[in-house]
Structures are given as C-alpha cells and as structure tokens.
Amino acid sequence: MGLIVQKFGGTSVGSIERIQNVANRVIEEKSNGNEVVVVVSAMGKTTDQLVTMANEISANPSRREMDMLLTTGEQVTISLLAISLIEKGFDTLSLTGWQAGIETEAVHGNARILNIDESKIKEQLEKGKIVIVAGFQGVTKDGSITTLGRGGSDTTAVALAAALQADKCDIYTDVTGVFTTDPRYVKDARQLLSVSYDEMLELANLGAAVLHPRAVEYAKNYNVALEVRSSMERMRGTIIEEEAKMEQNLVVRGIAFEDQITRVSILGLPNSITGLSTIFTTLASSHINVDIIIQSTTADQTNNLSFSIKTADLQGTLDVLESNKKLLKYKKVETETGLAKVSIVGSGMVSNPGVAAEMFEVLASSDITVKMVSTSEIKVSTVIDDMKMVQAVEELHSAFELSRVPVNL
C-alpha cells in the first residue's frame, strides 16, 4: 500500500459530470490498495466570477475579504466530490485548508505555506477514509483565512505530499502532460515523458502554465515524485524528477512564452554604488516583480536602467517611481509596451556552447528584433515585439528540432 496525493484543477471539476469522473479516478487509485488524499480547485471559472462580483461592488476590495470570498469556491468542490464518493460507497471526509492544518504567512492574496500539521489527515487515513482537501487556501497563526495566489492548488498538493511523505503526487489537468511548447500555438509541439525539476521551474516561471512555480520548488526541495497527467484520458503523463531520463539527446527541451510584457527605462540615475539596491528594494516593497535587467553608463557618468515587468504592473510601477523620485534622483522614465518574452530551456545547454548564438541567428533570420536578453545555465530569455511572438516560437521549435520527440501513445 502506498500514499498517493491527487490534484484536480478547475477544468477537471468544471461540472457535475466531471466531478463524477474525478470520483472514478480517485476510486481507481483507492481500489489499487493505496491511501488517497485529493486536492481540488474551484469549479471552472468560479474564482473569476467571484472576483467580478467583488469588483462590481468595489474598485479596490479588501484583500482580507477577497480571501474570505475566494476560498468558498474550493469548499463547493470538496463537498460535491465528497458527496459523490460517499454515494459510490467510499468513506470520505472533506477538509478546508485550515481544517487540514495548512498554516501560512499573514499575506492576503499570495501567502506562502509556513507549516502543515498533518495529524488530522493521517488520523482519517488510518481509518481508511479518502481525504479531500481544498486547494489554494490556508490560515494564519491568528486564525485569518488566506489564499496562496493563482495556481495555489498545485502548491497545496505538493506541500501535502511532502508533509505526508507520499509515494507520489499526481497533478491532473486538461492536458496530457508537459509539452515542448504550447500545442495550442504550435501544432508540432510534443509531450515530454520527463522533465527535470530545474527545467520545469524555469518553464513555469517563464510562462508555461502547466504547473505553478512554487509547487515545483516544493517538489524539488522535498524530492516529491511528481507527474502531470490528463484527468480525461487514460495515458502516461510527464514525470517531473531530479534528472530527466527521457529525450536525453535534446539540448533544448522546451520553449516558454508570454505576452503583455513592458520595458521600463529609468534614465539619468546618479552613478551610485547603492543605486540599484535602492530602486529594486523600493519596487519589491510594493510587490512588483522585475524580470530582465539591463544597466548602462552614459558619457556624463549617469546610469540608465531598463527592466521588464508584466504590463498589468505598469501603473503601479510608475506610481512607485514617481512617489520616490526625490529618493531615486532620476531624470525621467520611458516605457515600451506591446512586448513579449520568448525563452528556450534545457539542461543540455550547460555542456553545449553556442545555443544562445543559434537562438539569436534564428530570430535574426526571421527579422525579429531582440530588445532584451537574460540567461542562466539552462535558459535564454529574449524580449521581442508581441506581434512576432508566435512566429518566434514556431521558428525556434523547428530550429531546435523539438518535433523529433516521439508522440506519446
């Protein structure tokens, strides 16, 4: 007998029919002799609908009350799934995040898990019950309900798997696994049989929406065996592990991309040793995430600084910079919207020089201008015009021969 954590996303539980399908998948695992903990998201677009209703009342609703509101979505799902399993003859108990012992920091809207008291879940498993836990939510030490941010149910599942020392954590979604790139945009995209933790973390951070980055961090830190699988189809998924064992001949294993990127340029900064830390500390204190950074020194010994952000954060960034202009002492700020980020990822890049050069050659031959660049040992990210995004992904996918990955049958 093993212990399996299963996570089902919003699409997988988007209707009563699909909840019944999920119940059958849970029963299959239970019937194989395993103890089962199930983590679920809110049904379909429930969270979006709740956000819309709140915004009809207030342009800036209380973050605490938004957490109180949004957590109701998962509570609907856990109870419906529990009712379905009980109706099918299986002893089942549903738990909210706080009932399951998930303690978080006191940050509303994007809290991190601090600790999990798994004793209640273990007690119920010992009684032979299937335990269903609401994803995306927890509670602070003083009893305030919190949410973990978009994609937080993935994090809930992996964190529970780590705390319970589960044998495996299966992430069920509406795709069959992790692909070389988004198959909705590139018809030749192929499913990968395995991906390393580091590669998946890069892909998740760079725009691949299959797994939440924080969930991958947990899996890597606690060596949780992870598989991304389809909730609809009975087929092999993608294994996330320390070192990918399949498709070893691929130097680049995936291409991630996202639009709605903006470049912010701060011009005429004083040439101070503490200038960069002051700017980015100021932005970080307002929870603004900065990505690619480029600095240059002008002839008059002032500094120009450019960085990329998500376009949704633009107004907040401008507000922070303006309110701190005396502290930062810059001359002016310029912005460029309508940009996208396209990234290649692969652990094979470490031992294969020239990959970045090949990427730039491919983009140049397609008349795609690279505006910003960022690299690490296993990825190269470029910022380009968003109108060229899909073309860039298609050209790179072809150039690095990712369509050679065998089709997963």
Could you tell me if 159 and 297 lie in one domain? no
Residues 6+ apart with CB under 8 A from 320: 282, 283, 286, 288
Domain end residue (candidates: 174, 190, 206): 174
Q: Provide φ and ψ at 308, rounded to 5°.
A: -105, 145
Q: What is the CATH number of the domain that holds 144?
A: 3.40.1160.10
Could you tell me if 38 and 133 lie in one domain? yes
318 assigned to some structural domain: yes
Written as tens digits, the pLDDT of the chain (409 aa) is 799 999 999 999 999 999 999 999 999 999 999 999 999 999 999 999 999 999 999 999 999 999 999 999 999 999 999 999 999 999 999 999 999 999 999 999 989 999 999 999 999 999 999 999 999 999 999 999 999 988 899 999 999 999 999 999 999 998 899 999 999 999 999 999 999 999 999 998 888 878 888 899 999 999 998 999 998 888 889 999 887 665 566 889 999 999 999 999 999 988 876 778 888 998 988 888 899 999 888 777 788 999 999 999 999 999 999 999 988 889 999 999 999 999 999 988 888 888 999 999 999 999 999 999 999 989 999 999 999 999 999 999 999 999 887 765 4
Q: What is the pLDDT of residue 247?
A: 57
Task: Tell me the whole-structure pTM to 2 decimals.
Answer: 0.85
Which stretches of 9-136 are assigned E, i.e. beta strand? 35-40, 92-95, 102-104, 113-116, 130-134
**215: which 2 tokens?**
């969930």
> Which residue range(s) make up the domain with 132?
3-174
Radius of gyration from C-alpha coordinates of the chain: 23
Domain end residue (candidates: 174, 203, 236): 174
Q: How many CB atoms lie within 10 A of CB 177?
A: 24
Which stretches of 155-247 are assigned E, i.e. beta strand? 168-173, 194-196, 226-230, 238-241
